[in-house]
Amino acid sequence: MSKKLIAKVILTLALTACGTSQAPSSASNSGDSAVLNNLLEVSVADLDNYWQAKPVKPVMLKSRPKWLPKGAGKFSYFVVIDSQGNEVSKTLVGSTPEGWMTQARLNKMPKVSYLVSENNPEHQPIKVLLTSEVMPRRMIKSN
C-alpha cells in the first residue's frame, strides 16, 4: 500500500513539474502570435521607411556558402521583422529554376538584424517580400 502511495506522489509531482514548465512557453507563444497578428505588409521599396539592415563589414568568402544552391538562380521569400528588428521567419515563395532554392536552404541562410527607421518610432513589425538573384561574376553588369 505504501508503494502505491509513493507512486501516486511521484506521478503527481512529475505532472505538476511538467505543467509548470509548459506554462511559460505557451505564454511566449501567445506573445509571438500577437506580434504576427499585427504585421504590416510592405513593399521592398518601403522597407527603409520602417527598418534598415544593420551595416556589416563585407567579408570575402573563399568558397560558396553551403546553404546556397549550386548554379545560377533567383528566389523570392517573405521576411517577418519583429518589433526588436530581428528576423522572425523566412518563407520561400518561389525560385527559378523551380526547386533551385528550398525552404530548408533558406532556413540556413544567415539572419539579418535591422535598425528602426526614424519614420517608425512605434517599432512596427512588418512582413516584406524580398528577391535575390545569384549569377556568375562574369554576368554581373557594372555601372
Q: What CATH number corresponds to the domain at position 120?
A: 3.30.2420.10
The model's confidence at residue 2, banded by pLDDT at 50, 70 and 90, is low
DSSP string computed for 16-85: HHHHHHHHHHHHHHHHHHHHHHT-EEE-GGGGGGTEEEPP------SS--TTSPSS-EEEEEEEEE-TTS
- For 102, counting Cβ atoms within 10 Å of its Cβ (0-12 exposed, 13-18 middle, 19+ buried), the class is middle
Residue 29 confidence (pLDDT): 44
Would you say the C-alpha torsion 61, 134, 94, 89 has a positive or negative sign?
positive
Q: How confident is the model at residue 10 (pLDDT cuts 50, 70, 90)?
A: low
- What are 69-98's pLDDT values in tens digits? 999 999 999 999 999 999 999 999 999 999
Domain co-membership, 120 together with 131: yes
**pLDDT tens-digit readout, 26-61:** 334 444 555 556 788 999 999 999 999 998 888 888
Count CA atoms closer than 13 A to 67's CA, side-chain side: 9
DSSP-assigned states of every residue in 2-19: HHHHHHHHHHHHHHHHHH
Whether 45 and 30 share a structural domain:
no
- Torsion sign across C-alpha atoms 115, 121, 127, 131: negative
86 & 99 share domain: yes
Q: Which residue range(s) make up the domain with 15? A: 1-37
On whether both 45 and 107 belong to a single domain, the answer is: yes
Question: Which has the closest alpha carbon to 114: 49, 36, 34, 35?
Answer: 49
Looking at the structure of the chain, the number of domains it has is 2
The model's pLDDT over 90-112, given as tens digits with 9 standing for 90+, comes to 999 999 999 999 999 999 999 99
113 in the same domain as 43? yes
pLDDT(14) > 70 = no
